[in-house]
Amino acid sequence: MANPALHARRQFLKFLATSPYVAAFGGVAAFLERGVSAQNPQEASTIISDPAQALDVFDFEEVAHRKMRPGHWAYMVSGVDDDGTVRANSEAFKQIELRPRRLRDATKVDMRVELFGTVYDSPIFTCPTGSEKSIHPLGELAVARADKARGTLQFLSTATSTAVEDVNKALGRPVWYQLYAPSSWDACEKILQRVEAAGCSVIALTVDNTTGRNSETYLRTRPKDLTQCTACHGGGGEPGTSVKERPMYDGIDMTGVRLQNPAMDWAFADRIRKAWKGKFIIKGIDTREDALLAVDHGLDGILVSNHGGRSTETLRATVQALPEVVAAVDNRIPVFVDGGFRRGTDVFKALALGAKGVGIGRPMLWGLGAFGQAGVDRVLEILQGELKMAMGNCGTRTVADITSAYVKTPNWTS
């Protein structure tokens, strides 16, 4: 039987992580230092010291918090406004019930999926997150090596702190590339040409965060003195705000160019469609109306995403938006999803609702910040193991077997 004290500790940390009051203290670690941990120092012994000790992905969160710089942690965990969409992403899974089928042979569960011609060991992928070297010195390379070991798809952000060529080498195959389109078409075209030359065949244009964001919790909880931060980051000390941190802009004149283009429209997407020879996904579509437009404009896929609750305070979880997007495209193009996934059962539920692949963001960063490559590897191992167990227990031997018949949900399609 699991250690009751350890289980209680993990449950308590999960509760604290969703509390705006705890955020006001500067996060879980700061809250514990001021209160609970001071009352009971023995609780510190429940913090894992090795990735193998982790029983779920939450076990990495506090370790990463203690190791990361306060400003980097505040930037990574925060959402916008009241952080309600961050919480909604995870809490929505509690509204989805599983409908397992019994007396089915579960000895040969196969999680493999084929996505745009490449076979991966599971439908779980690591999301594009910027400035991963602010989480761990090896950054994107550590993630790539863990993804390679686990047969996992890696998305790479335009805001990467490691060049795409180096990440592809560490991964052993090309990444899928997430594109923040700059306001200059010349700059955008040069990025696309570089990504193509690096062997990437899939891009995902992000469209849900083009006008900036109200990062209130980050501004409240980051260090007050940003003198040291601005020496590296510029841009007010916010990670990833300086072009010099982003090698994907090397050799491109970014004078007067905005890193994201608020004037983007469907005509701009058409322009990219004509310029890009590979597969073209849009990241950030959450409605049936835009899903239908994506099909009409010749897109190859959709990634349902709300930036992990970091763009607009919609209070609508991505798993809630998923069914209407899937219904709208009607199997004409694949639909992927990210946002709030913390369990293999969460992944199973999204697959049952029609997703072809499921992305993880913060859990991957928790693992990275806690133990580098070994932490990311263990996070993937845990989630893949939980998904395999859920598939077996529900009577689905392959990912293709997972359908809406295995879940019961509120009516999210209307």
Active-site residue list:
307
Q: Which SS3 state, helix, strand or coil, does residue 214 take?
A: coil
**Under 8 Å between Cβ of 192 and 220:** no
Q: Where are the alpha helices (DSSP H) in 222-361?
A: 227-233, 266-275, 288-296, 318-329, 344-352
Q: What residue has token string 């949900």?
A: 409
Among the listed residues 30, 115, 53, 89, the one whose alpha carbon sits nearest the alpha carbon of residue 301: 115
The token pair at 342 is 């913390």
Parallel/antiparallel/unpaired status of strands 407-408 and 118-120: unpaired
Distances (CA, A) of 232 to 33, 166, 187, 208, 306: 28, 22, 24, 27, 28
Sign of CA dihedral 394, 395, 397, 403: negative
With the CA atoms of 24, 28, 30 and 35 taken in that order, what torsion angle do they form, in degrees rounded to the nearest 10?
A: 100
DSSP category for residue 401: G
**Under 8 Å between Cβ of 206 and 283:** yes
